[in-house]
Structure 1
Amino acid sequence: MTRKLYYENPYLASFQTSLINQGQDENGEWYAVLESTGFYPEGGGQPYDTGLLNGIEVNRVEEVDGEIRHYLVSSLDAENGLVEGKIDWERRIDHMQQHTGQHILSAAFDNLFALRTVGFHLGREESTIDLDTSALESSHIEEAEKLANQIVLENRPIETRWVTKEEAEKLPLRKSLAVEEDIRLVIIPDFDYNGCGGTHPSSTCEVGMIKILAIEKEKKKYRVSFVAGNRSFRQFSKKNHILGKLTPLLNAPQEEMEAAILKLLETKNALEKKLEEANDKLIAFEASQMRLNRENTDLPVTGLFENRPIQELQKLARAIVMEENGTKAVLIAKNGDKLQLVCAKSSDARGNIKEAVNSALSLINGRGGGNETFAQGGGDATITPSELLSKLLANL
């Protein structure tokens, strides 16, 4: 078996070893198996390490059938079987901070409120824990976050220990063990005792600030999103940069931004309402003009348009047939490479609007819906709007 250097020294960023073998898997990907490795394989909620072996990129590491495979972008040139490994240290320390941050945050929820963590995901931007509870108060979030950061500031030691099942049972484990052999515990004395196979720093201060970003209700549990360490710094920097840009735009300091945005939204909604009312008046006026301008009052009111939303066609068609008995309206718009149509009639007018529209839609591979007095649809511009209009008029 490969010697696991990442357990002996999680701070090992480079190492030398010997090549046991290399080959290709069923997908043709090259991989190498080493006598010893500092690369952590994916497992226990922690992603794998990446880096280089003799200058060749290692893009993932997995434990397959008891052997640790280092997947490579190409075959490994190992003269005399010697291999030099270099770990992407920024990725490793990030994973250590997030994983240990999860231990601390989960223990804080457990110790304070007996809320157990039943799921953990270490993502690229943020991580999540799932709490086994159907109720979570904002005070729970604040107190757990406060305690977690207090543990960080106290610079408590983090111990890793291999124990037997009997030895583990004598300790106040936060959750039951998933294995009965090769038991590895990660311990923050007098705070958290947890079985874990991940890599962790030697003290809590190295985790850095732990910040909860959001909570989300999911069935009978709550998902808590958080960041730790360097990610917390990046989050703070990014949000501070955004707030700095918003300050002059809103003409308000950060503490007054919420009120400024609410006022802005109220103004926006009021303006949109006025604009909609004005647009409705314009459509009503347009409808009356279209009725007046038709040459024959026995024929439907028609209109051909370019790049006009179907929602406006609907309003216009209804306005046309609303004010005059025995009226029909046929409106068509060419929007890009699509034709859209709306047809309507007053309740006393003859004909079936839906049947006429369905017949015309077959010419443009279209689909639509409606009823006897009002129907709409759209399809491909395989014919001109004028040709489609002629078809509709013939059907009506």
Structure 2
Amino acid sequence: MSEKVKIINVVKQANRYFATIENNPFYPDGKGGQIGDRGKIDTAEVLSSTEKVVVLNKYLHPGEYFYEIDEKRRFDIAQQHTAQHILSAAFERIASLKTVSFKMGEEYSTIDLDGQNIGEEVLNKAQELSNDIISKCIEVEEIFTDKEGAQKYNLRKPLSDKVSGEVRLIKIDDFDISACGGFHVKNTGNINLLKITNTEKVKGNLTRIYFLGGLRTIEDYSQKDSILKSISSILTSGLYDLENKVESLLNENKDYKNRIKKLAEKMAYHLARDLIEKAVIVNNNKVVYHKKEDETADFLHKYVDLKNYTLIIEDEKNKTFSIFSNNINCKELIDKLKVNNNIKGGGSEVRGNINGDTKFEDILKILEK
């Protein structure tokens, strides 16, 4: 800590302290799609930053204090931001896809491209071209000019009409040049590596590209490598045989589920006969009740004569009741239960479901009326 910052005033909100700073040296969160600086002012940690205010974890009296900016974080930000410029330029060169927005996060960054159905071939080519530019260790040049001077350059994205005063351009040889006020590395080689991790469709006919740059890429690889090795050990399979092993296990699991389903249905047939013998009569209604223990309960309604019986299945674990009947109106029954019970539910005349704090006895009381 060799430089000082002046705190003008501090306002407490909850457990955070909002300090207004004169000539705030901490880069604001969200500016240009970038995450902001962190660090310390005296012994207080900077939790977030805006143009004029930083949020601290402890109170500091107004006055001058030494401050420190987290340079490791700032370098990470620079890696992600320059990686974004390169990736956006790559997509534009390969598939004429323009970047309409950029957002940097604490764990990953995204760009939104003006198109959908972007195939694997385009994604791979954009990633390959990006890493080729990174590996060439090209100087990342800063150019300071004004709006008129910026027009002389072939900018990837035209300047907004709102821009005035000094304009900062980030130039990567003849590959890309863009107006930008954020952090950038000095040389593309400082990024080390870029990896596209995911894509998704978003509103407005756009595609969101998730990517990592720099140390984040290495950390992501290390985590995934560790996970794969652990799974490989659990499944006693070689790393490159995992896909076939998992597919085989899923097929086996599907087969077992089908067998269990068939057995459950057979058991339901016999269980239904036992339950019918134990049916209780309430106001001329024969009520068959069962407390669900396994999948057998899911087939009971097929083997209980619903013209002559009302079937009530309780799922104690999920606090639900399922009601089946062709001789009472299930929907009306549930509506009456809602009046004096803290439950949710609904259904049709012949079938309904209840969720909430109620008991089988509460249902019987409604049937008695």
Q: TM-score range by the shorter chain?
A: 0.7 to 0.9
Return the alpha-carbon distance in structure 1 between the equivalents of residues 70 and 122 of structure 2: 36
Query: Equivalent residue for 2:129?
Result: 147
- The change in CA–CA distance for 1:91 and 1:18 in structure 2 (over 3 A counts) is closer
Cα deviation for residue 306 of structure 1 reads 4.3
Query: Equivalent residue for 1:197?
Result: 181
Amino acid at match of 1:46: Q
Report the secondary structure of 2:259's partner residue: helix
Cα deviation for residue 332 of structure 1 reads 4.9
Report the secondary structure of 2:304's partner residue: helix
Return the alpha-carbon distance in structure 1 between the equivalents of residues 56 and 337 of structure 2: 59
Query: Equivalent residue for 2:312?
Result: 331
Return the alpha-carbon distance in structure 1 between the equivalents of residues 176 and 280 of structure 2: 87
Query: Equivalent residue for 2:234?
Result: 249
Query: Equivalent residue for 2:57?
Result: 73
Return the alpha-carbon distance in structure 1 between the equivalents of residues 256 and 332 of structure 2: 40
The C-alpha deviation readout for 1:92-133, integer Å capped at 9, x for no partner, is: 111111111101111111223322111101011111111112
- The change in CA–CA distance for 1:194 and 1:355 in structure 2 (over 3 A counts) is closer
Query: Equivalent residue for 1:319?
Result: 303
1:59 aligns with 2:62: no
1:264 aligns with 2:249: yes
Return the alpha-carbon distance in structure 2 between the equivalents of residues 112 and 244 of structure 1: 35
Amino acid at match of 2:167: I
Return the alpha-carbon distance in structure 1 between the equivalents of residues 196 and 325 of structure 2: 55
The answer as to whether partners of 2:11 and 2:18 remain within 8 angstroms in 1 is yes
The partner residue of 2:219 within 234, 238, 263 is 234
Query: Equivalent residue for 2:208?
Result: 223
Report the secondary structure of 2:118's partner residue: coil
- The change in CA–CA distance for 1:58 and 1:372 in structure 2 (over 3 A counts) is closer
Return the alpha-carbon distance in structure 1 between the equivalents of residues 135 and 109 of structure 2: 21
1:175 aligns with 2:162: no
The answer as to whether partners of 2:35 and 2:106 remain within 8 angstroms in 1 is no
Report the secondary structure of 1:320's partner residue: coil
Amino acid at match of 1:53: I
The partner residue of 2:28 within 33, 37, 41 is 41
- The change in CA–CA distance for 1:376 and 1:321 in structure 2 (over 3 A counts) is farther
Cα deviation for residue 217 of structure 1 reads 2.0
Return the alpha-carbon distance in structure 2 between the equivalents of residues 361 and 62 of structure 1: 50
- Please, which moves more after superposition, 135-144 or 234-243? 135-144
1:369 aligns with 2:341: no
The partner residue of 1:277 within 262, 273, 281 is 262
The C-alpha deviation readout for 1:339-385, integer Å capped at 9, x for no partner, is: 6251424xxxx55454445445544344443444444434423xx53
1:208 aligns with 2:182: no
Amino acid at match of 1:127: S
Return the alpha-carbon distance in structure 2 between the equivalents of residues 129 and 387 of structure 1: 56
Amino acid at match of 2:18: W
Cα deviation for residue 36 of structure 1 reads 7.2
Return the alpha-carbon distance in structure 2 between the equivalents of residues 105 and 116 of structure 1: 11
1:22 aligns with 2:8: yes
The answer as to whether partners of 1:317 and 1:342 remain within 8 angstroms in 2 is no
Cα deviation for residue 284 of structure 1 reads 1.1
The C-alpha deviation readout for 1:5-30, integer Å capped at 9, x for no partner, is: xxxxxxxxx541352x5113596943
Output the TM-score relative to the length of structure 1: 0.81
Cα deviation for residue 331 of structure 1 reads 2.2
Amino acid at match of 2:189: C
Please list every run of 5 or more consecutive structure 2 residues that lacks an aligned counterpart in the other structure. Answer: none
- The change in CA–CA distance for 1:185 and 1:372 in structure 2 (over 3 A counts) is closer
1:126 aligns with 2:108: yes
Return the alpha-carbon distance in structure 2 between the equivalents of residues 56 and 291 of structure 1: 72
Amino acid at match of 2:186: S
Cα deviation for residue 196 of structure 1 reads 0.3
Return the alpha-carbon distance in structure 2 between the equivalents of residues 338 and 274 of structure 1: 28
- The change in CA–CA distance for 1:232 and 1:97 in structure 2 (over 3 A counts) is same
Aligned CA-pair RMSD:
2.9
Amino acid at match of 2:321: Q
Report the secondary structure of 1:180's partner residue: coil
Return the alpha-carbon distance in structure 2 between the equivalents of residues 256 and 192 of structure 1: 42
- The change in CA–CA distance for 1:26 and 1:320 in structure 2 (over 3 A counts) is same
Cα deviation for residue 163 of structure 1 reads 0.4
Identity score, percent: 28
Cα deviation for residue 49 of structure 1 reads 0.4
- Please, which moves more after superposition, 258-267 or 327-336? 327-336
Return the alpha-carbon distance in structure 2 between the equivalents of residues 272 and 365 of structure 1: 35
- Please, which moves more after superposition, 273-282 or 350-359? 350-359
- Please, which moves more after superposition, 216-225 or 360-369? 360-369
The answer as to whether partners of 1:361 and 1:377 remain within 8 angstroms in 2 is no
Return the alpha-carbon distance in structure 2 between the equivalents of residues 354 and 86 of structure 1: 66
Query: Equivalent residue for 1:385?
Result: 360
Return the alpha-carbon distance in structure 2 between the equivalents of residues 84 and 176 of structure 1: 40
The C-alpha deviation readout for 1:228-269, integer Å capped at 9, x for no partner, is: 111001000000001101112233322222222111111111
Query: Equivalent residue for 2:70?
Result: 88
Please list every run of 5 or more consecutive structure 1 residues that lacks an aligned counterpart in the other structure. Answer: 1-13
